[in-house]
Structure 1
Amino acid sequence: MTTSPELHTYTAQVTWTGNTGSGTSGYRAYERSHEVSAAGRPPIPGSSDPAFRGDPARWNPEQLLLASISQCHLLWYLHFCAVNGVVVTAYVDDPVGTMAETAEGGHFTEAVLRPRIEVAEASMAEQALALHEDAHRACFIANSVNFPVRHEPTVSVREPGVTTGQ
């Protein structure tokens, strides 16, 4: 017996806020500013990458895609650690995405996640590293992109008597 996958639907709204008065009358006549929003959530100020006339103080789509991959990995990783008895006390990722600009536009060539994880005990370190593979296989976002997503995790052990987090 084959079961159908459970479907989830997501919505968002993207509103261009960069009309400086003459719309898109010329390539340099408008700002790339926009807001990403959804019901009940604060808006995310967006723009294009500064290389494409964007506002460097705003998030660009490439950063948001990379952050989504990293968030998804984080959430699956924490789940697998919790159900496998690995106590994570800190997690920071500094992901890097590479995009190739082409005549047709561009595309990501890869994303590399570089999470730094702290665990409660040295006996957990090996499994903490191994669980990244499970998180990678389960990540909805990584499974949805057409470029490789690699991970280069490091694990440290919390020093006795030191508390991490809030």
Structure 2
Amino acid sequence: FGFPPKKEQLEVVKCIGMQKDCVLIAGCGWGKSWTYFLPLALWEDRIILILSPLKALMDEQQKKLEKDYGISSEAIHGDNKKLPRNLEDRLSKGEYRAVFMTPEMANDRERFPKLWNMDGWRSRLLAIVIDEAHCIHSWGSGFRKAYSQIGDLRAKAPPGVPFIAMSATLPPD
């Protein structure tokens, strides 16, 4: 990726490899995204699901991964009108290695009725990253209730898939 990784970035990658949940609190511009970009280079046949509230950031990261690093990815949110009709099958086959989704989409049973039970998806899923994790508390009981349902993904995800929570503003306690 053209830079020496920070110790803390490698610690998150280590947690992913050891199938351990972790929390990363680091400032804006620190390089939190690299902690889920790096594993894509190490585990070439695996998928990382990134839950994000920010559609513009999802689109930006998706384009950067594809253009700069040749890593297939998709940004799945309500404003993306270019999603293929057979998206579940393509996700299950591992056609996209970095999958950016809003929490609303991750739990959408109408859009993805089979995804969480598909063998290809389950066997390839390396980690679930919750970007802007502070939104779980601040938005989950208000205008974006899907944030309060992120924990439901634990039951849907295969055993051993770690959850990585990231935030620049999450209080340390």
TM-score tier after normalising by the smaller chain length: under 0.3
| TM-score, normalised by the number of residues in structure 2 | 0.23
Larger relative contact order, structure 1 or 2 (CA cutoff 8 Å, min sep 6): 2
Q: Which has the higher helix share?
A: 2
- Higher Cα Rg: structure 1 or 2? 1
| TM-score, normalised by the number of residues in structure 1 | 0.24
